[in-house]
Structure 1
Amino acid sequence: MDALLLMSFGGPEGPEDVMPFLENVTRGRGVPRDRLEKVAEHYQLFGGVSPINQQCRELKAAIEAVVDVPVYWGNRNWPPFVEDTVARMKADGVTRAKAFVTSAYSGYSCEGQYQEDIDRARAAVPGAPEITKLPVYCLEDGFLLPFIEATRTALEHAPGARLVFTAHSVPLAQDGREQYAAELAEVARRVHAGVDPALEWDLVYQSRSGSPRTPWLEPDVCDHLEKLHAEGETTVVLVPIGFTSDHMEVKYDLDVEARDLAAEKGMTLVRAATPGTHPAFVALARDLYLRN
């Protein structure tokens, strides 16, 4: 039996989940406890619940409506863990599956780690189904179109705004960093062209973690907003092209931190939506499954 496996990062679903979740995410990375506690405060502002799991449930249901194979869901860092999902797939008689991950780009964090997750889960389940990760899809129309539409909608509330495209930063030393940055620049270029080529735009990064001594992709979104304010810019639309859904890095780093900074500076800031369950994005998952 064939199946489609939806894979994602995972997130806490209550206040008591937050620290165990963050410990899972940072295991082996030597992140200090006080740093984890600081990040935990971001989650507690939202009741200790990351929106990502519910968004995965909604995406899974939307994909199930357009494919004729069973759809399973497994996470890297919080239940349902991918190992448990693969065990259930085997018990259900699945022999072959294709994995659609909620990360659109190349590079270790976006692509390599998910392949490691698949390999680890299959190794943990004797007789596990064959699982093939579907290819990177950041330049597919089904990913670009939702951002073009969302940016146009955002601009209705901020006509003529400067477009600031954002994505999760990664260490400069990370495998695949150059291709990741190049893909982001191309996505930004295509979305900008599809919205209004006359608008000015920038590509920035957000949500960096780890030691401040370790160089990461820059500029940071808040540093860039400070710079734009100093240059006299008054209106910005943030477009989070690095994300497929409005999970915590979007909800806190952009909707709280960046928005508060913009308000302090007297700037108008509007944030464009992520693809979520946009019909074109759901169709992309189906089409990738059928094409590969």
Structure 2
Amino acid sequence: MGNYDALLVVSFGGPEKPDDVMPFLENVVRGRGIPRERLLEVEAHYQRFGGASPINQQCRDLIAAVEPTIDLPVYWGNRNWHPYLEDTLRRMASDGVRRAAAFVTAAYSSYSACRQYIDDIALARAAVEGAPEVVKLRHYFDHPGFVAAMADHTREALDRLPAGLRDSARLVFTAHSIPTSMAATAGPGGGAYEAQLRRAAALVTAEVSGGGDRAWDLVWQSRSGAPHIPWLEPDVCDHLPKVDAPAVVLVPIGFVSDHMEVVYDLDVEAAETARKIGLPLVRAATAGTHPRFVSMVGELLAEPEPVACAATCCPAPPRRHGGSQAPQGSQGSQGSQGSQG
């Protein structure tokens, strides 16, 4: 599989028990001046679900599904929680790994979904003597495997609606909001984050509808940070009351697994909004361990080695007091952006 002797799955990380939550959140926001009361608010979201994010177990599940399909050992390292990237690279070096491909659980271009992971890998390598070379695999937002997985899950969600509502239900695709300044500089020419999400949503809609017409929207979720800093809008909960359709299927196209942001911001907050306005709503699953998504990883490994991003691509946002990005209900990438644990 290419010129690699290992696969490294790189993710955001998340707490796995109640005592992990605050140390995890402090890792996420270190140096950003996030107010303590904001951390306590987000901590409550985790504690509502037993103090555990779904993301770590979902990484384990993905690795268990991928490893038998490729002829490489698979390692796993996180940005913000155990197993940390630095510890994983140290183990890889000890095992004799010299050149690894990195699969990041974020499918899109932006600072948080791509550049920050590249920087995290570089910092971890610099701290480990004899660390392997690590090549980040390409963005996969439009890969047929990702599209097929999301289309299947969207069809499954439509099937959960009453039969009379399925044909006229509106697809509402959601992704993590980011500051508009970050969105403007995403990708080589800027604007790639939103453009890639729209491309993915259009591809999934076309597959679900068999090439026919079906109405869809792209909206945002999990906005955080200082209120005076503009972020991508509209928020999903602001959008739902304006939907002119008898039912909605929420499709979390911006995520590859059910992060805390998905299960809280969509399954709790958006679901409550829909209930209050009497709007039938179901939520499609994320790609997770869908067989086409699993096989996609091997297909990416078999592709020609990707060209590395320019150092100026997806630059880091300026840090302001109060933080340009604070943790919300929780990439990857994806994944995801402010906090995807």
TM-score class, shorter:
over 0.9
Deviation string for 1:14-69 (max 9, x for gaps)? 11111111111111222111111111111111000000000000101111110111
Q: Aligned to 1:183, which of 189, 196, 201?
A: 196
TM-superposed deviation, 1:289: 1.2
Equivalent AA in structure 1 for residue 216 of structure 2 = W
* Partner SS for 1:36: helix
Deviation string for 1:201-232 (max 9, x for gaps)? 1000001111111101111000001222xx5x
Question: Which residue does the alignment assign to 2:49?
Answer: 46
Question: Which residue does the alignment assign to 2:208?
Answer: 195
Deviation string for 1:205-263 (max 9, x for gaps)? 001111111101111000001222xx5x3310000000000110100000000001111
Q: Any unmatched runs of 5+ in structure 1? A: none
Does 1:208 find its partner at 2:208? no
The CA distance in 2 between the partners of 1:258 and 1:24, in whole Å, is 28
Comparing 12-21 with 193-202, greater Cα deviation is found at 193-202
The CA distance in 2 between the partners of 1:235 and 1:32, in whole Å, is 38
Equivalent AA in structure 2 for residue 164 of structure 1 = V
Question: Which residue does the alignment assign to 2:60?
Answer: 57
Question: Which residue does the alignment assign to 1:246?
Answer: 258
The CA distance in 2 between the partners of 1:221 and 1:40, in whole Å, is 22
The CA distance in 2 between the partners of 1:151 and 1:127, in whole Å, is 45
Higher RCO by CA contacts (8 Å cutoff, separation 6 or greater): 2
Q: Aligned to 2:283, which of 271, 274, 282?
A: 271
Equivalent AA in structure 1 for residue 213 of structure 2 = A
Question: Which residue does the alignment assign to 2:175?
Answer: 167
The CA distance in 1 between the partners of 2:205 and 2:289, in whole Å, is 22
* Superposition TM-score, scaled by structure 2 size: 0.83
Equivalent AA in structure 2 for residue 37 of structure 1 = L
* Partner SS for 1:69: coil
Q: Structure 1 vs Structure 2: percent identity of aligned residues?
A: 60
The CA distance in 2 between the partners of 1:198 and 1:190, in whole Å, is 12
Question: Which residue does the alignment assign to 2:317?
Answer: none
Task: Indicate if the aligned counterparts of 1:153 and 1:272 stay in contact, CA closer than 8 A.
Answer: yes
Deviation string for 1:96-146 (max 9, x for gaps)? 100001000111111101101110110000111111111111110011001
Equivalent AA in structure 1 for residue 136 of structure 2 = K
The CA distance in 2 between the partners of 1:29 and 1:213, in whole Å, is 16
Q: Any unmatched runs of 5+ in structure 2? A: 306-341
* Partner SS for 2:124: helix
Question: Which residue does the alignment assign to 1:26?
Answer: 29
Q: Aligned to 2:271, which of 248, 259, 273?
A: 259
The CA distance in 1 between the partners of 2:284 and 2:82, in whole Å, is 29
The CA distance in 2 between the partners of 1:106 and 1:274, in whole Å, is 18
Task: Indicate if the aligned counterparts of 1:74 and 1:81 stay in contact, CA closer than 8 A.
Answer: yes
Q: Superposed, which structure 2 residues align to 1:212-251 within 5 Å?
A: 212-228=227-243, 231=244, 233-251=245-263
Equivalent AA in structure 2 for residue 236 of structure 1 = V
Question: Which residue does the alignment assign to 2:90?
Answer: 87
Question: Which residue does the alignment assign to 2:158?
Answer: 155
Question: Which residue does the alignment assign to 2:108?
Answer: 105
Equivalent AA in structure 2 for residue 122 of structure 1 = R
TM-superposed deviation, 1:156: 1.1
* Partner SS for 1:252: helix
* Partner SS for 2:69: coil
Question: Which residue does the alignment assign to 1:37?
Answer: 40
* Superposition TM-score, scaled by structure 1 size: 0.97
How many aligned positions are there? 289
Does 1:284 find its partner at 2:292? no
Question: Which residue does the alignment assign to 1:124?
Answer: 127
TM-superposed deviation, 1:199: 2.0
Higher helix share: 1
Does 1:11 find its partner at 2:14? yes
Deviation string for 1:167-224 (max 9, x for gaps)? 0011111130610000001111111111123321100000111111110111100000
Q: Aligned to 1:144, which of 132, 142, 147?
A: 147
Q: Please, what is the CA RMSD of the aligned residues? A: 1.1
Task: Indicate if the aligned counterparts of 1:234 and 1:266 stay in contact, CA closer than 8 A.
Answer: no
The CA distance in 1 between the partners of 2:194 and 2:30, in whole Å, is 26
Question: Which residue does the alignment assign to 1:74?
Answer: 77
Equivalent AA in structure 1 for residue 224 of structure 2 = S
Equivalent AA in structure 2 for residue 166 of structure 1 = T
Query: Could you list the runs of 4 or more consecutive aligned residues of structure 1 that deviate by over 6 angstroms after TM superposition?
Result: none
Task: Indicate if the aligned counterparts of 1:154 and 1:237 stay in contact, CA closer than 8 A.
Answer: yes
The CA distance in 1 between the partners of 2:265 and 2:257, in whole Å, is 14
